[in-house]
């Protein structure tokens, strides 16, 4: 399943999710309730052992109140800046 580059993508995305979650003091159980995704499934995603679907990532991003791109952006990306919101860092609740 999945080659090395893809593995790294999953591991990186998982790390970002975990960082975001723990920065908010949420447990897997709590995030599970917020997302409707089971805690074991979240654990697998955060440890890069599962290849989540797009809508699964979206539910996580929404629950953590970060953008989907925040969770999957790999440094090498120049995202065209959707104007007015740089998303350059942790967004602490500035929405327009």
The site for DNA (CB under 7 A) is made up of: 1, 22, 27-29, 35-47, 49-53, 56, 95-96
User: At a CB cut-off of 8 Å and minimum separation 6, what does 69 contact?
Assistant: 79, 87
Contact 48, 11 (CB under 8 A): yes
**Per CB under 8 A, which of residues 19..48 are in contact with a copy of itself?**
24-27, 29-30, 34
Q: Measured from the CB of residue 75, what is the shortest distance to DNA in angstroms?
A: 22
CA gap 48, 34 in Å, rounded: 20
3-state secondary structure of 33: helix
79 binds, among a copy of itself, DNA, none (CB under 5 to 8 A by kind): a copy of itself
**List 17, 32, 52, 60, residue binding a copy of itself (CB under 8 A):** 52
């Amino acid at each position: 399943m999945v080659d090395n580059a893809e593995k790294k993508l999953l591991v990186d995305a998982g790390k970002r999710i975990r960082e975001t979650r723990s920065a908010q003091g949420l447990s897997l159980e709590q995030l599970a309730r917020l997302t409707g995704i089971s805690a074991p499934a979240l654990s697998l995603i955060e440890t890069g052992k599962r290849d989540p679907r797009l809508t699964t990532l979206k539910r996580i991003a929404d629950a953590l109140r970060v953008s989907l791109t925040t969770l999957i952006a790999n440094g090498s990306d120049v995202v065209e800046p959707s104007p007015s919101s740089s998303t350059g860092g942790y967004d602490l609740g500035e929405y327009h």
